[in-house]
Chain A
C-alpha cells in the first residue's frame, strides 16, 4: 500500500516532526520550507505544494423520499516543479511527510533533477508570513455553522412536495443539495504561503413530465459561495415557479426546424455562450496549446463594438468567487474585452511565466489531483442600454433562447450549445415553444455577431470542466442579440 515507506530520504529530514493534517497553517511551515528548499537545491527553478482537505455532503430526495445521504471525506496534496520549459505534477492521498517526500522525489526525478545528492545540504525556503484568508474572514467555523443533515432533508422534502402540487403531468421529481467544504494551504518556493477555506452549496430541483407521448425534463438550481446557512435560508419558491412555468410550455413543444436564425438569448445562464465560445479561448492554457485564434490579438477588435466582458472572483456569494486562487494569489477583477477590443487574458502562474501575461488570480483546479490552470471565475458580459423587450421586438423572425443547456468548444474554436427552453420569435413577439435546438458556430465569427446587449445583467451558477478538472463558475449576461446563427434541429 505504501511502497515508499522503506526508502531512504536522506539526513536532511531527520528530526522533522510529522505534520498534522488536521491543522493547516503555521504548523506546516517547517515541513513545507524544507521540502521546497529540497526541490530548489535539487535543481528545480520553482516548486509549489498544494494541500487540501475536503468534507462534502450530498442529500437527495426522489419522489418525496430521501434516497441518498452521502458524506465524503478526503485529503491530498499536489506538488508541481518547474525547470526551464518543463513542469511536472505529482499528487498523492498521503498527507504525511513520507507521502510528500515520495511525491516530491517523483516530481524531481521526472524533471531529471538529482534529489538524493541534495538531501543533506542547503537551506530551507523562507516562506512569507502566512496569508490566512480563512482567519481574516472568520471562516474557521463555517463547516460547523452549516445546517444539519436533517434540516437539509426537511427542506428538500418540502421542495419536493411543492413540485408535486404545482407542476403538471409530473412523472418523477428529484431534489438535491450539496455542501462542499474545502480547506487549502499553498506554499511555493518564491515564498508564497497562504491558507483559505471555501464553502460551496447548491440546491437543485429536477422534474420529468409526461403526457402520453409528450415528454419533457427540466431542472433549476440556486447556489452560493461562503454563506454557511445558505441551504437553510435560501428561498426555493422561485425554483418551483420556474419549473411549473417551463414544464407547462415545453411538454408539448415541437422540434425546432433547422436553419439560420437571428437569436435573442436570455440573461443568466445564457452567458454560457460567451463562457464557451470566447472565455475559454482567453485562457493562457489555450495559448500554450495553440488552440485559440486570439493569441496575438491583444489590443485588437475581436468582438462587436457593443460588447464588453469581465471575469472576476470578487462578487459576494457568487459561485465562482474566491478570496485567493489555488496558487495563493488574491482574487481580482479582470476586464477581458472592452467595446470589442481584447484587453486581458486569464492567466495562471505557468501562463504568466511562459507568455508574459500578468497573473489574474485565475489559477484554479478541481482538487489536489490536478495542477492549477488558467480558468474562469465569474464571467459575464456587461449591460447595454435597451430593454429585453426592445431586443425581441427588433427581430421580425428568430429564436428566443430562454434557458440554455450545456455546451462545449473544440480545438478549432467550433462551439455548440443546447437550448433547454426556446421560443420562436414572429413579428417581434414570442410565439410557440420549441425543443431540440442546438446552436453551432465558431468563436471568432459569433463574437462579431453579438450586436446588442440589454440592460438586465444577471449571473447564474454552473460547473466548468476543462484541463484542471471541474470547478465552480458563474456565467452571466444581459439579454443579447446575435444577428445570425446556425440552429441544429429537425430538418
Chain B
C-alpha cells in the first residue's frame, strides 16, 4: 500500500528543489492477476503492476498545466513538473481550477480511509475455481458448445491524492471479479451466447459456480428464439439495461456538459420534470453493493450521496470545483481530473417501485442492451440498440433473435409506468426493472 508518508515525502522532495511549487497529484497504483480458461482447456494467465498519475501544476500567473505519467519516482515527477509548466501558458485561461486546500472541520472532514484489504489468493486458487466453474457450465447442457469469454481477476489498488497545500488522501482496496460467457446452439437454430458476472471483496465470497450456473441457464433460455413483427411494444428494461442506458446518456447529469452545451439538459432544467414521477435516481458512491468504492475524487474531495432525480424532477447534478462555482454550489466529489476536468457517476441507486404488475406478464423484456458505443447518439438523445431479451405473453417467455430497440431517452424517462419491487445488482448501480409504455422494436426477418 502507498502510505501517507510516502506520498507526503514525494511532495516534500519536489518542494525542496522548487520551494514555490504549487501542484497536486492524484492517481492509483494497481496490481492485478487475471486468469482465463481457453477453449482448449489451457490457461491464459496474466499479471500487471501499473501506476497512473495525474500531476497538476499552477504557474506563477495561476495558469494550470496538467501531465499524466506512469511513474512516482522523483526524477520522473520532476520532469513532469517541467512539462506541465511548459504547457500551462497554452491551456485554459478562464475558469481555472484552484489548488484544493485542506478543508476545515466545519465544512468537511477529510478522513484517511483505513485499508480495506482482504486476503489475497494465489493465481492457482483463482485458476482452480474458474476451471471448475467452466467445466460445470460445459456439463450443464449438451447444447452448450463452449465458454469463449471468461475471466477471474484479483485486484489490489492504492488510490492517492496529495497537494502542496497539505491536503492528502489515500486508500487501499482489493476486489475479485469474474465474468463467464457461454456459447451454445440448438438444432435448427443459430448459435447464441449469454453470460453473467460477479464482483466481491474476496474470492471466498465470489461464487464462480453460481455465476456459471446463471450464465448457463440464461444461455439455455435463449437457444430457441422466435421472430416477432417489428412495431411498438410495451417494454420492460432489466436493471442492468436501464443503468447501461443511463450511463450512455450521462450528460443528463453532468454540470460540466451543461456548461459546454453538450447535454440534453440546460441550467434551466434543474427543478423541472425530467422523468415519470415514480422515478428516483441517486448517485450513491458508498452503496454497499459498490465493491471497492473510491472514497475521494480527483480533487481530493470526499465522495458523497447525490440525489439527481426525485419524483421525476431533476434536482441534482454531478459537480467538480469549477462547475460548482459556476452553479453557486459545492462540489459533489465527482471530479475526474485531466487537462480538462470532467464528472461522472460512481454508483447509481434507482429506488425500487411498487411492482411491475401485469406489465411483467405481457411485454418485450430487454435483458441486456448491446453495442452502446455505436447505437447511441448522446447529444440527440436517440438510441437504436441490439438487445438480448424475450417476448413475454401471459407470463410465458420466448427468446428473441436479431432484435433492436429504438427510442429517445427523454421520451423514455417520461414513459416509465412501473418499477419492480426488487433492485438488481449491476456493475454500475442498483436498479429495479423498468417498464416503459412504448418503444420501437425491430426484428430481423
- Using a CB–CB cutoff of 8 Å, the interface residues on chain A facing chain B are 1, 58-60, 62-63, 65-76, 84-94, 102-103, 106-107, 110-111, 149-150, 153, 171-172, 208, 215-217, 255, 258-260, 288-291, 369, 371, 405-408, 410-414, 416-418, 435-438, 440-442, 486-491
Contacts and interface: CB of A to CB of B under 8 A. Distances in A.
Contacts of A436: 377, 382, 384, 406
Contact of A93 (B39, B49, B183, B371): B49
Given A405-B375, A440-B404, 10 more contacts: A68-B338, A68-B340, A74-B68, A87-B44, A89-B47, A288-B40, A290-B148, A418-B371, A440-B402, A442-B190
Interface string B23-55: 000000100000000111011111111110000
B315 interface: no
Contact of B384 (A89, A107, A410, A488): A488
Contacts of A172: 260-262
Contacts of B66: 69-70
19 contacts: A59-B90, A69-B66, A71-B68, A71-B83, A74-B69, A91-B46, A149-B90, A217-B377, A258-B440, A259-B442, A289-B39, A289-B149, A290-B39, A407-B371, A410-B370, A411-B183, A438-B386, A441-B444, A491-B442
Contact of B373 (A107, A290, A406): A406
B181 interface: yes
Nearest to A369: B48
A89 B46 contact: yes
Interface in B407-440: 440
Interface stretch (B70-78, B98-106, B162-170): B70-78
Contacts of B385: 438
B2 interface: yes
A89 B103 CA distance: 44
Given A149-B87, A288-B40, A416-B386, A438 B441 contact: no
B107 interface: no
Interface in B367-414: 370-371, 373-375, 377, 379-382, 384-386, 402, 404, 406
A291 B148 contact: yes
A352 B249 CA distance: 42
B231 interface: yes
A66 B373 contact: no
A438 B444 CA distance: 11
B445 A68 contact: no
A356 B404 CA distance: 39
A171 B257 CA distance: 13
B354 interface: no
A83 to B, nearest CB: 10
B230 interface: yes
A66 B92 contact: yes
Contact of A88 (B45, B84, B442, B444): B45
B123 interface: yes
A67 B70 contact: no
A69 B87 contact: yes
A115 to B, nearest CB: 14
A334 B29 CA distance: 41
B380 A91 contact: no
A371 B46 contact: yes
B445 A491 contact: no
A110, A150, A172 pick with most chain B CB within 10 angstroms = A110
Contact of A67 (B38, B191, B340, B386): B340
B46 A90 contact: yes
A440 B444 contact: yes
Contacts of A405: 374-375
